Amino acid sequence: MRYNIPLNKWEFSIGESGFKKSVTVPHTWNVDDEVMKHRGEAEYETKVFIDENLKGKRALISFNAVYHTAKVYINGAFAGCHIRSGFTPFEFEITDKVIFGADNLIKVIADNAHIAEMLPHGDDFDWADDGGIIRKAELKFTEPDAVKFLHVQENITKIKDGLCSGSVKIFTEFSDGKPHGGTLRITDYSTGETVTEKRFESIDGEASADFAGLKLWSCYAPNLYLVSLQTDSDFCEIRTGFRKIEVKGEKILLNDSEIYLKGCEWMPGSHPDYGMAEPLEHSIKCLKQLKNAGCVFTRFHWQQDDGIFDWCDENGLLVQEEIPYWGYPKQAGTLQLEIAKQQADEMVYFHKNHPSIVFWGVGNELGAQTQETINYVKDMVSYFKSIDSRRLVNYVSNTLSRVENIDKDDATLYGDVAMWNDYLGLWEPSDDIESHMLRTCKKAEGMPLVVSEFGLCEPHFKGGDAERARILEERLKMYAEIPNVQGYVWFSLNDYRTHCGEAGEDKMRRRVHGSTDLYANEKPSYRLLCNLQKNLKK
C-alpha cells in the first residue's frame, strides 16, 4: 500500500566553479576541503526509475532537511520551494510530474548564503552554516485516499504504580480530503500486544478512544506504544509514549511527580568529517555520553532529525527543541513572527508524536527586557499552545540577571518555565556571584527556573578544562540550594563548530566550550560531570 524509494546517490556541483562530485546524502559541501568556503547556491541531481506498477498512487518527494533554502525540480518542472527554515522537514506532492515506467530526473538547488529573511537571521547564530541536503531524502508513494498524517494527543486522568488511564485523541487527514472509516489500534511496542482497538465508520479530522492500564513514558521507564489507523486502502502507524508534563508553582511535574532537570547540551554537526550531515551513529555516541553522565534533559538551539528524537524516545532523554532565533534582531518584527510561526507549524506537524520533546523553545538571548521581545514571546507561547497542548513553551534569557535592569520585566517570565543563561563572572561581570544569583532567581519566584546554560568558553576566557571543571562544581552546589531552581543545562557537552568561532579556521572553526572535543573525545570535566550528577541528591 505504501512504498518508499531512498534518494541516497546524487551528482553534486557548484555553478561556475566547475566543481562536480558524486556524493551520498546526507551531505554538506562545507566540510569538503575543495569547496568548504562556498556560501550560496549548489546543485544536486539524481535519476531514479519509478516502476509502472506504482502508477495510480500519490507520489511525494520528502526531505528531512535542506539547509537553508531548497528549490526542487522533477523532470525539469518546478515542484516546490522550501524557504526560511533550514532544519525542518518538508515534502511536495509530485504525482503530476513523475513518469511511471521510466527514469526521472530530480534536481535540488540548495542555498546557504546568510540572509535576513529567515531564522536564524543573517549572521546571527552560533553554530555551523553547513549547506546541502543535510538529512534523509526519499520518494514516497501512497494510495490516493491515504492517511496524510496521524497525530496523537493523550488525556491522562489517572496515574497509579507507573500505569495510566484516560483517553487518546487522534488527529488525521486523508489525501483525498474526504472522511473515511478505519480501525484504531494501540499496541505495546515491546511486546506486540494490542491493548486498545476501536472501529470508526467515519473519521473526519479527529477521533478518540479510551484506554486503561497503559505503561507511562518517563526518563526512567521510556515505555512506547504503536498507534495505527487501518483503513480499507491504507495502513498508517506512528510510535509514541503516554506521559504528562506540567508546572505547579515552582515545580515541574512529569507524570504527577516532581522532576529535577539535570542536563547538558550537545551541539550537533561538530565532527569535522561530517558537519551538519553527521551520521546517526555519531549522534548516538554523543547522546549516550549525555545519558551516561546522568542527564535527564537536553536542549537544542535548532531543530533536529527524527532519528535523534527516536533515540531520545527510546532512552528517556527529555528535550527542549527550539526555533533557531538567537541574538538578533532583538526587536522581533512582523517577518520574524511570521517565520517563527511557520517553523512552529513544521515542528509540531513532524515531531508532535515524540514523547521525549516536552518543551518548545521560542528563542534565545533576544534582549528580553524590551517590550518588543516580551510581545514576541507572549505571541509565540500562545501560538504553540494553540497548535499543541501536549507540551510546555519557554524562552531563554540572558538578561534576567542584568544588574542595571534587575527590577525590569523579562520575557522569560512569560513562558511556562523561566530559563536563564548564567554567565556570571564571565560574559556578565559580577563582584559577588552568589548574591547576584540569588537576586536573579528571586525575579522568577513563584515559577520554576532552569539555568539553561553555564560553562566556560575558550580562548575568550582562560583557565582551560580545569577552570571549566571548577565552574561546574561550584555552580551545581549553588543551584542545589535555591528552591525555585529546578534544573540546569551544562554548556556544552562538546567543543562545537560554528561560523563565528574564536578558534580554528574554515571547517575547524569552533568554540572550545565543551567537556569533549570536536570528535567526542572526553576531557576531565566530562568525567567530573558524570560523578557530580550521579551523586546529586536533587
Three-state DSSP state, 291: helix
Model pLDDT, residue 1: 82
- The C-alpha cell that represents 181 in the structure block: 472509516
Model pLDDT, residue 508: 98
Please, which residues have CB within 8 angstroms of residue 445's CB and are 6 or more apart in sequence? 250, 484
Model pLDDT, residue 515: 98
Model pLDDT, residue 537: 73
Please, which residues have CB within 8 angstroms of residue 2's CB and are 6 or more apart in sequence? 140, 141, 142, 143, 146, 234, 235
Report d(CA 190, CA 217) in Å as an integer.
13
Model pLDDT, residue 16: 79
Put simply, whether the predicted model's pTM sits higher than 0.95 gets the answer yes
C-alpha to C-alpha distances, 129 to 176, 339, 439, nearest whole angstrom: 39, 18, 37
Instruction: Report the sign of the C-alpha dihedral through residues 440, 441, 442, 443, in that order.
Output: positive
Tell me the one-letter amino acid at 207.
A
Please check whether residue 300 is in contact with residue 337, taking contact to mean a CB–CB distance below 8 angstroms: no
- Per-residue confidence of the chain (538 residues) as pLDDT tens digits? 899 999 999 999 998 788 999 999 999 999 999 999 999 999 999 999 999 999 999 999 999 999 999 999 999 999 999 999 999 999 999 999 999 999 999 999 999 999 999 999 999 999 999 999 999 999 999 999 999 999 999 999 999 999 999 999 999 999 999 999 999 999 999 999 999 999 999 998 999 999 999 999 999 999 999 999 999 999 999 999 999 999 999 999 999 999 999 999 999 999 999 999 999 999 999 999 999 999 999 999 999 999 999 999 999 999 999 999 999 999 899 999 999 999 999 999 999 999 999 999 999 999 999 999 999 999 999 999 999 999 999 999 999 999 777 778 999 999 999 999 999 999 999 999 999 999 999 999 999 999 999 999 999 999 999 999 999 999 999 999 999 999 999 999 999 999 999 999 999 999 999 999 999 999 999 999 999 999 887 7
Report d(CA 138, CA 3) in Å as an integer.
10
DSSP single-letter state for residue 336: H
May I ask the CATH class of domain 274-534?
Answer: alpha beta
- The C-alpha cell that represents 264 in the structure block: 547538558
Please check whether residue 152 is in contact with residue 15, taking contact to mean a CB–CB distance below 8 angstroms: no
Report d(CA 398, CA 311) in Å as an integer.
30
In the chain, where does the domain assigned CATH 2.60.120.260 lie? 3-142
Report d(CA 310, CA 246) in Å as an integer.
22
Please check whether residue 119 is in contact with residue 336, taking contact to mean a CB–CB distance below 8 angstroms: yes
Closest CA to 10 of 112, 107, 102, 100: 107
- The C-alpha cell that represents 365 in the structure block: 538571548
- Location of C-alpha cell 559580577: 430
Q: φ, ψ for residue 168 (rounded to 5)?
A: -120, 135
In the chain, where does the domain assigned CATH 3.20.20.80 lie? 274-534
* DSSP per-residue string spanning 372-398: HHHHHHHHHHHHHHHH-TTSEEEEEES
Model pLDDT, residue 405: 72
Q: Which fold has domain 3-142?
A: Jelly Rolls (2.60.120)
Please, which residues have CB within 8 angstroms of residue 282's CB and are 6 or more apart in sequence? 271, 274, 520
Report d(CA 373, CA 538) in Å as an integer.
33
* DSSP per-residue string spanning 469-511: HHHHHHHHHHHHT-TTEEEEEEE-SB-EE-TT-SBS-GGG-EE
Report d(CA 488, CA 452) in Å as an integer.
6
CATH architecture of 147-246: Sandwich (2.60)
Model pLDDT, residue 536: 87
Report d(CA 234, CA 508) in Å as an integer.
48
C-alpha to C-alpha distances, 140 to 62, 320, 390, nearest whole angstrom: 7, 30, 29
In b/e form, how buried is each residue of 354-383, taking b as 16+ CB within 10 angstroms?
A: bbbbbbbbbbbbbbbbbebbbebbebbbeb
Report d(CA 21, CA 484) in Å as an integer.
55
Q: What angle (nearest 5°) sits at the alpha carbon of residue 317, between those of residues 366 and 458?
A: 50
C-alpha to C-alpha distances, 489 to 22, 351, 478, 511, 528, nearest whole angstrom: 40, 22, 14, 17, 15
Alpha-helical segments (H) within 215-333: 280-292, 306-315
Closest CA to 115 of 88, 86, 73: 86
Tens of pLDDT, residues 8-28: 999 999 987 889 999 999 999
In the chain, where does the domain assigned CATH 2.60.40.10 lie? 147-246
Q: Output Rg (C-alpha) for the chain, integer angstroms.
A: 24
- The C-alpha cell that represents 499 in the structure block: 561560523
Q: Which residues are 503's β-sheet partners?
A: 510
Report d(CA 76, CA 78) in Å as an integer.
7
Please check whether residue 515 is in contact with residue 490, taking contact to mean a CB–CB distance below 8 angstroms: yes
Please check whether residue 237 is in contact with residue 353, taking contact to mean a CB–CB distance below 8 angstroms: no
Three-state DSSP state, 240: strand
Report d(CA 169, CA 123) in Å as an integer.
42
